[in-house]
Chain A
Amino acid sequence: MTATLTPPKSFQEIILRLMTYWAGQGCAVLQPYDMEVGAGTFHPATTLRSLGTKPWAAAYVQPSRRPTDGRYGENPNRLQHYYQYQVIIKPSPPDLQELYLGSLAAIGLDPSVHDIRFVEDDWESPTLGAWGLGWEVWCDGMEVSQFTYFQQVGGHDCKPVSGELTYGLERLAMYVLGIDHVMTMPFNDPQSPIPLTYGDIFRQTEEEYSRHNFDGADTAMLFQHFENAEKECARLLDQPEIDPKTGKRIIMAHPAYDQTIKASHLFNLLDARGVISVTERQAYIGRVRALAKKCADAFRLTEAGADA
């Protein structure tokens, strides 16, 4: 472990240290997926790659959006756009808990002064048709990560099982840096020639998106886009496996999955606009789940998702 490290000074330093740490553990350090998602789990590097038997190890930051959590940049903790740090390793190594604790030490959470606990928390994603068992990890009474052993994704049993770690970066960084309001958190080194806070970068966008999410978005158009994404997903998966142009077997699992991600985010936006009733809600979630399952089925037929 790296207990002799100096404490990190900024949000980005915490991210960089996590990157360095997990790269050191052999993870492929990926970049964020280029679509709007609700959580790091939606990145195909997690959802799709947790299927099949091919070993896999990846770590990445994923910007995530939860439209209903928008507070116009005023709430000290809540944001409609935030960052998750995600680690996914298949099969889950036997020392995953120790590896994880090493990552906490790397960002300055040393177990010789902190109280770190694994408290039961089972994870389920109704939209992804996925569930797993694990814990929320508490540091001095605060939840700093979600630790899950995937059991099922897209309706498929995970064999072997992937271990997934999700860090809520803002909350974790605020704790490590001793910050009370997210907008005052130093994003880069406060000693930099141009020091920037989280607020310098995101206060305005939080305001703009809050207005957009709650009042601005055109719901009729969003409903239409949802329908389109749903149709397109099905259409892509209905194409023959053999590409007529190249003569190769090319299943369009990832492009279809992009449409699932889209549908999921559109649903979240509609939910924030308050135009989905309680009874309809379940039906929409079920429609997204049906797409996720189809994509999982398709991915299992591809080279990356097949059993070795």
Chain B
Amino acid sequence: MRCTYSCRSEAHLLARRQFLGGLAAGAGALVGGFSTFVRPAIAGQIAQDQKRVLVVNMAGGLSQLESWDPKPGTNTGGPFRAIPTSVPGVHISELLPYTAKQMHHLAIVRGVNTKEDDHGKGAYLMSTGRRQTPASDYPVLGAVAAKALAPPDSPLPGHIIVTPGGGGGRGNDAAYLGPRYSSIVLGNGQPPSNSARDEALTAAADDARNALRRRANDRFAQRRRTAQTDAYTYSYEQARQLMERRDVFDVTKEPQADHDRYGTYDFGRHCLLARRLLESGVTFVQVTHSNYDTHNENFDFHLEQLGEFDRSFASLVADLAERGMLDSTLIVVLSEFGRTPNINLYYGRDHWSAAWSVVLGGCRVPRGAVWGKTNDNGTEVVDGQVDHGQLFHTYLQAVGVDSTESFDVGGRELPIADPATGPIKELLA
């Protein structure tokens, strides 16, 4: 199949120039590949002001009542109390004392109603901003951010997911944006799989081997260049550059005092790694904390899990603020849904998407804001109701991406976010 990008359109000429420029830069070359926006001027605008995104995924469904929207003293409130925060008048659960001191950097969206109580479907719509259908597949936020925000010549991947366990590898989550924007998964925070040079291979031999590959590849591309060969070339070059920057993934190089401050457990280490990645210029980093699917003994498990989350997350927010990164780094704390106001027989809370909370911070998000409101016992949204589509637009607009625009993918215009909805304007300063 011949690639279609050489159609001579303005957008594709931009991509062609990026490609050639990358080659001219030598060993660090990256293939620009497909054009990004229908209106390429946007790419230039974003490049002048590099933005990043940090997502903390509270896997399983964080209880809004034990976190961002407590209802103490009501029939749904549970045993925990609410505590004041650094924002006058704003209270959160007593399970988050460290985060409470950072709330002036953050904003709470308390009126989320996503109408989806299934784990898989909820995770899909929260990560893509759209409902899953058999006929379509959409790229996740990380892929969109990498495509829209990552500098084309970045030596590092633009879309990284740090998981609590498991192996590494490449996600299949970029849909029509292509594998270039798929996540690189750091299982338990370990560096990307197979990113260390084999000890049996000397650096010189490795360089010679790659030079030979490049020569053969360039010669082949002169006459038979296709989308597939570009993707192939890109994968090699990215892998090579990633190997050269492998220390970026080595969280042990961070000071011991920071390890102690973040917590010497997996999530603490993963948050510290997220800071390191963001500081190194990675565009999108997602850290997952697991597991909040507390159908049984919700309160004990939230006590346990949020005890970890609170210390590490608050340290990360404080550091991003102190290092001047909040103006360029969007923070999102999300789940696939919240948990039922009703406390079940087993002291548990079940799946609940009708009235729950998401937390944002940084970039254009107004500091210390609270948007949306639930009723007295948290069973429904009474003001400022929003859904996943609006949130997705808001994330992107917060980092300067015009989410009402479209991607140009192989000549097709594909809306960046759901065109049927738009951002939460009140959360964009």
| A complexed with B | no
A binding-site residues for B, Cβ under 8 Å = none
